[in-house]
């Protein structure tokens, strides 16, 4: 079922979204969020706090579009890969109890696991994505929808699933490279069950949810057909429209992505991570010490210049994404700020929203979202007037660039959306992207793909040649060139 959300794009240009010095931080954050909501790019809940005290909390858009149910700060969402932080903390709890160490070998715990690779992989490797075990979602030659078909619809037998999808050859020697791996966290879930003698769901509840009073949180993987009171419905955004996402077997998400929660419960989790009695210092140090790719044990760790004076602050965070669900848990430990953003409307510019909120917190003028030019073109695509719309967009880009958001990501998304049904329109859209982002290798790569689908072989070769020249690491581009040239 498709729900149409009509955005008055041109009228938004006349709305004053500027912030004033007299506004409170709460009011500034609200105005920032509204600027994203008004473009259809944010639909969810937000909480901002310092040292446990709430600065801002609220919902934006709808938890259920069919019944016009609004999102609130109490709405529950699947948090997707933020689940990994809970898996990490649960493993650390077991380490603090002396039941595991970070150097415990995978095959020492899961006796059925192949020993030639399992004897090389440690708990630490699994936690910090340096195990070399291939991500089961990245099946070679298969799209994500084909992967979903492979997994079926019935609740999985986790051991059988792991035996089939999680025992492949290592892609690199453990500890030498970083590659994000959902497989590693699936195996950590099985390790938690093996060592604790409990289901993953009960272990997380006993170690985290119950002690912290997180009564609005739980694990959906064993209950994918249950109804959870106050849970948002997930949608994917097609520019100014929302649609239901493809089916995904939630039982496959498990310890890598199956937890649901709300912003207030995640505030309780935030406060526990500053409590010296919740975990040992050694466990905190392991989680929050960056390894390869600035990833600790279950956490993305960054340094970021923030505020008026651009002082460098430490950041502890994790993102989650699963079709309709896009989430971010974001801590600034130096000042004990927390930002939680939970979205049920598909891909969302969470980094931009976080950046805007931190600007508010540190007394810097945030950048509010402008009308998306991709939304304007999408309306033209639906009315089959892309060519004239792009002519207008050229005018906007040359004369009114500061009034529009010419997001390359959104335009790229639109180009591929059009490619499914109208290759010629897709070629025009990607051509426009290369004109305004002429130094983007990805723009030329996408343009080449559209040209190839539309049958413009010679021009496709030229576009791919520009792309690989800009980015010699574009292996897919080189492969397409060989195919187009018949080599």
The helix or strand, by DSSP H or E, that contains position 316, with its residue range, turns out to be: strand 311-322
CATH code linked to domain 80-361: 3.40.710.10
What pLDDT, on a 0 to 100 scale, did the predictor assign at position 11?
37
- Average of per-residue pLDDT values in the chain: 92
Q: How far apart are CA 320 and CA 17, in angstroms?
A: 29
Q: How far apart are CA 363 and CA 433, in angstroms?
A: 35
The helix or strand, by DSSP H or E, that contains position 306, with its residue range, turns out to be: strand 300-306
Quick one: fold of 373-485? 1.25.40
3-state secondary structure 241-284: EEECCCCCCHHHCHHHHCEEECHHHHHHHHHHCCCCCCCCHHHH
CA distance to 217, 247, 473, 484, per residue, from 79 (Å): 10, 17, 33, 42
What pLDDT, on a 0 to 100 scale, did the predictor assign at position 21?
54
pLDDT band at 140 (very low <50, low <70, confident <90, very high): low
Contacts of 191 (CB under 8 A, 6+ apart): 91, 100, 106, 109, 110, 123, 126
Q: How far apart are CA 322 and CA 221, in angstroms?
A: 14
What pLDDT, on a 0 to 100 scale, did the predictor assign at position 487?
79
Nearest to 80 by CA among 316, 296, 261: 261
CA distance to 120, 286, 300, 323, 466, per residue, from 330 (Å): 33, 18, 10, 21, 38
Q: Where are the domains of the chain?
A: 80-361, 373-485
pLDDT tens sequence across 319-343:
999 999 999 999 999 999 999 999 9
Q: How far apart are CA 86 and CA 217, in angstroms?
A: 11
What pLDDT, on a 0 to 100 scale, did the predictor assign at position 46?
98
**DSSP assigned state of 192:** H
Cα dihedral 397, 398, 399, 401 sign:
positive
Which structure tokens are listed for 388? 């004239």
pLDDT band at 141 (very low <50, low <70, confident <90, very high): low
Cα dihedral 341, 343, 346, 348 sign:
negative
Tell me if 80-361 shares its fold with 373-485. no
What pLDDT, on a 0 to 100 scale, did the predictor assign at position 19?
52
Q: Is 229 helix (H, G, I), strand (E, B) or coil?
A: coil
User: Distance from CA of residue 157 to its chain's centroid?
Assistant: 27
Contact 451, 428 (CB under 8 A): no
Contact 60, 46 (CB under 8 A): yes
Contact 121, 103 (CB under 8 A): no
pLDDT tens sequence across 32-72:
999 999 988 999 999 999 999 999 999 999 999 999 999 99
pLDDT tens sequence across 401-431:
999 999 999 999 999 999 999 999 999 999 9
pLDDT tens sequence across 111-128:
999 999 999 999 999 999
Helix 182-196 and helix 83-96, axial crossing angle in degrees, nearest 10 = 40
Helix 182-196 and helix 158-165, axial crossing angle in degrees, nearest 10 = 140
> DSSP for 332-387?
ETTTTEEEEEEESSSS--HHHHHHHHHHHHTT-PPPPPPPBHHHHHHHHHHTT-HH
Nearest to 340 by CA among 228, 262, 234, 229: 262
Q: How far apart are CA 201 and CA 221, in angstroms?
A: 8
Q: Return the C-alpha torsion angle 478, 484, 486, 487, nearest 10.
A: -10
What pLDDT, on a 0 to 100 scale, did the predictor assign at position 4?
40
The helix or strand, by DSSP H or E, that contains position 326, with its residue range, turns out to be: strand 325-332
Nearest to 148 by CA among 247, 254, 235, 255: 247
**DSSP assigned state of 176:** S
Cα dihedral 121, 125, 129, 130 sign:
negative
End-to-end CA gap in the chain: 44
pLDDT tens sequence across 191-219:
999 999 999 999 999 999 999 999 999 99
Is the per-residue pLDDT at 7 higher than 60? Answer: no
Q: Which residues of 35-59 are buried (b: 16+ CB within 10 A; e: fewer)?
A: bbbbbbbbbbbbbbbeeeeebbbbb
């Amino acid at each position: 079922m498709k729900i149409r959300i009509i955005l008055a794009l041109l009228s938004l240009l006349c709305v004053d979204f500027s912030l004033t010095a007299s506004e409170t931080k709460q009011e500034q954050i609200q105005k920032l969020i509204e600027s994203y909501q008004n473009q259809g790019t944010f639909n969810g809940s937000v909480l901002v706090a310092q040292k446990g005290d709430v600065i801002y909390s609220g919902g934006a858009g709808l938890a259920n579009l069919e019944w016009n149910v609004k999102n609130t700060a109490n709405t529950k969402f699947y948090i997707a890969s933020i689940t990994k932080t809970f898996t990490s903390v649960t493993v650390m709890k077991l380490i603090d109890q002396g039941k595991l160490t970070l150097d415990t070998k995978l095959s020492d715990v899961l006796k059925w696991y192949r020993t030639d690779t399992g004897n090389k992989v440690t708990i630490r490797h699994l936690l910090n994505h340096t195990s070399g075990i291939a991500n089961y979602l990245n099946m070679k030659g298969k799209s994500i929808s084909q992967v979903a078909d492979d997994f079926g619809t019935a609740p999985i037998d986790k051991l059988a699933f792991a035996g089939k999808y999680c025992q492949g050859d290592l892609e690199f020697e453990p500890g030498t490279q970083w590659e994000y791996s959902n497989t590693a966290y699936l195996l950590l879930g099985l390790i938690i069950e093996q060592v604790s003698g409990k289901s993953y769901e009960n272990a997380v509840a006993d170690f985290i949810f119950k002690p912290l009073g997180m009564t609005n949180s739980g694990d959906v993987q064993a209950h994918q057909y249950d109804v959870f009171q106050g849970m948002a419905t997930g949608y994917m955004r097609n520019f100014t429209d929302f649609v239901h996402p493809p089916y995904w077997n939630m039982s496959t998400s498990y310890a890598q992505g199956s937890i649901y929660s709300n912003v207030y419960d995640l505030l309780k989790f935030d406060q526990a991570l500053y409590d010296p009695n919740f975990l040992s210092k050694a466990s905190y140090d392991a989680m929050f010490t960056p390894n390869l790719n600035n990833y600790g044990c279950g956490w993305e760790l960054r340094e970021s210049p923030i505020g008026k004076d651009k002082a460098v602050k430490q950041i502890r965070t994790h993102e989650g994404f699963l079709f309709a669900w896009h989430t971010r848990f974001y801590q600034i430990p130096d000042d004990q700020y927390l930002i939680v953003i939970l979205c049920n409307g598909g891909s969302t510019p969470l980094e931009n929203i976080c950046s805007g909120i931190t600007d508010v917190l540190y007394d810097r003028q945030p950048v509010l979202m402008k009308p998306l030019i991709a939304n304007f073109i999408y309306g033209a695509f639906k009315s089959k007037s892309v060519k004239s719309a792009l002519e207008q967009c050229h005018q906007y880009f040359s004369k009114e660039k500061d009034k529009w958001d010419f997001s390359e990501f959104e335009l790229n998304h639109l180009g591929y959306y059009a490619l499914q049904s109208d290759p010629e329109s897709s070629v025009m859209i990607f051509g426009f992207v290369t004109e305004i982002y002429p130094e983007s290798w990805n723009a030329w790569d996408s343009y080449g793909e559209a040209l190839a689908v539309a049958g413009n072989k010679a021009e496709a070769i030229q576009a791919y040649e520009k792309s690989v020249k800009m980015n010699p690491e574009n292996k897919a581009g080189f492969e397409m060139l060989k195919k187009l040239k018949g080599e």
